[in-house]
Amino acid sequence: MSETVDQLECYADYVCPFCYLGTQSLEQYRETRATPLEVDWQPFDLRSGKRRADGSIDHDVDDGKDEAYFEQAKQNVRRLQAAYDVEMVQELAIEVDSLPAQQAAWYVKQEYPDQWATFDDEIYAALWQDGRDIGEVDVLADIAAAVGLPVDEIRSAIDDDSVRTELEDRFSMAQQRGITGVPTFMYDGQIARGAVPPARFERLLE
């Protein structure tokens, strides 16, 4: 009889620095955990209200985030970088649209689930460690090739309206579940929000 593996739901968007920091904290917790833990990624779209048709970001849209907000966000990112010992080449990525990356990742999750975690890690690394624009199809194709995924399929998925529609349905489902920001981690009806430390994951799961 196979052992049941715990599964943690993670709502995240690649362009959120706290999602990247949260995944790094989660990995630190997983390294100390005696039993395996699966992560069930659920996509969330932070750019939906500011995305132009060409994928560029319209900063004239009033979302309540002013210069003071972004400066505080940068300070919080730097604080968590130090706390979790995480290297990052930038604190924010406000010009990057993650929708192409999320389409690619959602396709991989459905079609190549065993390779999803590696692909997911490399998308985060490309943006936050290497400063690459994960809104660019060629960048995502490079990442796919590096992890052994079929590049043509990834390019097609990014251009596939049905994949985008499915992804948008997932975004709506997240909102219906009360997800208003990311990262949000859910386990057995309990929720942890933000780039929480490893000890918080331990309390959530154990």
Q: Let me know: does 73 contact 97? Beta carbons within 8 Å.
A: no
DSSP-derived 3-state class of residue 54:
coil
The pTM assigned to this predicted structure is 0.94
User: What angle, rounded to 10 degrees, do the helices at 17-32 and 113-128 form?
Assistant: 130
Bridge partners of residue 6, in order along the sequence = 37
Which H or E run includes 192?
A: strand 190-193
Query: CA neighbours within 13 Å on the CB side: how many for 76?
Result: 16
pLDDT of residue 1: 46
What digits encode the pLDDT tens for the residues 23-53? 999 999 999 999 999 999 999 999 888 888 8
Pick the CATH number of 6-205 from 2.30.30.100, 3.30.870.10, 3.30.70.940, 3.40.30.10: 3.40.30.10
pLDDT of residue 3: 67
Residue 30 token pair? 């997983």
H helical segments located in 51-98: 67-84
Buried b (16+ CB within 10 A) or exposed e, 154-174: bbebbeeeebbeebeebbeeb
d(Cα 100, Cα 29) in Å, to the nearest integer? 29
Residue 26 token pair? 């989660």
**Other Cβ atoms closer than 10 A to 6:** 13
Average pLDDT, whole number, for the chain? Answer: 94
> Mean pLDDT of successive 10-residue segments in the chain (206 residues)?
81 98 97 94 91 83 86 97 98 95 98 97 98 97 98 98 95 93 96 97 94
